[in-house]
Amino acid sequence: MRILKKSGIAVAVIGLFLAFTVFFSGCGTENGKRIVRISHAQSETHPEHLGLLKFKEYIEENLGDKYEVQIYPNELLGGAQKAIELTQTGAIDFVVAGTANLENFADVYEVFSMPYLFTSEEAYHEVMNDTAYMEQVYVSTDEAGFRVMTWYNAGTRSFYAKKPIETPEDLSGLKMRVQQSPASVNMCNAFGAAASPMSFGEVYTAIQQGVIDGAENNELALTNNKHGEVAKYYSYNKHQMVPDMLIGNLKFLEGLSEEEYEIFREAALLSTEEEMKYWDEQVEEAKQIAENEMGVTFIDVDVQLFKNKVSDVQQEMLDANESIRGLYEHIQEVNAKYIGNE
């Protein structure tokens, strides 16, 4: 524990230093090259980091005389909200953040926080891999000064806690961390829990210190982010598939020549392909490690009971936010193709 604490402090100090340097140097040039900075919240073994290495490789292979890509993992430059702000102002160029964090900039992204939106993984992947369709959605944050370039799979989210959750009733009264998004707060409260929004990096300590009882995420959070050390029960209620997005500062993107923009776009798509290659195997690995080395119990629950508990939420969200309707209906059409794969 002492080691963990010490390394936590070291990470925070390095992070502060980097944030300071990045902030004051702006988007610098080094050795005549424009430094392209990317921030993300995951560890260096996470599929997203591996995808971003591909992004870096492709850019530097094709435009290496002009650009050098630097990747900052582990929220070193700040949590998602902070890093999005840095991308908005152009202090950094790209950030990877979940759609939950984009809701305050473009409310169409609320749709992904709907519980049980996608009825199968196949439908989820088909919708997200339909680049021509999604690019119409990706421009919706242009006014806020940034644009989504591509998506990354962030798996299926389920609840995990210090106590076993077998039915929705077990959630009643539990304080559960959700992402900092109004729709995620509503969803969690609809399950009967007390939603506690906070940034990803704060979750470990909050569970450890008993500030919250648990959280909800994909399996990698147990291992990559060590949450399995402090929360020993993971319940497969599978309430959301929330994608992560690679977001770029709009001025930077618009300042690229057409050819350069095309290379950045190709690099983004390649990074998604690369990330997806690792996802399933890393989830399997995370389950093994969590179960065998961390003592986490995985619980298969009756998902239908959880669905019933939040069955009104989709309609309520549609009634409250007209801008999600088009994408919602599109997703329903794709869902229908995969009926039986749930």
> Which residues make up the interface to ligand GCU (CB under 6 A)?
41, 80, 97-98, 154, 179, 200, 217, 221, 244
Q: Name the minimum Å distance from CB 224 to ligand GCU.
A: 8
Q: Name the minimum Å distance from CB 211 to ligand GCU.
A: 16
Q: Name the minimum Å distance from CB 63 to ligand GCU.
A: 27
284, two tokens:
């399997």
Of residues 106 and 154, the one with the C-beta less far from ligand GCU: 154
Q: Name the minimum Å distance from CB 245 to ligand GCU.
A: 9
Of residues 134 and 241, the one with the C-beta less far from ligand GCU: 241
Q: Name the minimum Å distance from CB 157 to ligand GCU.
A: 8
Question: Which residue of this chain has its Cβ atom nearest to ligand GCU in the complex?
Answer: 200
Of residues 92 and 154, the one with the C-beta less far from ligand GCU: 154
141-145's contacts with Cβ under 8 Å and 24+ in sequence apart are 141/102, 141/105, 141/106, 141/247, 142/250, 144/88, 144/105, 144/106, 145/88, 145/89, 145/90, 145/249, 145/250, 145/251
Of residues 83 and 310, the one with the C-beta less far from ligand GCU: 83
- Distance from the first to the final alpha carbon of the chain: 41
- Contact criterion met (CB below 8 Å) for 232 and 295: yes
Q: Is 21 exposed, middle or buried (0-12, 13-18, 19+ CB in 10 A)?
A: exposed
Of residues 97 and 230, the one with the C-beta less far from ligand GCU: 97
Work out whether strand 157-161 and strand 214-217 pair parallel, antiparallel, or are unpaired: antiparallel
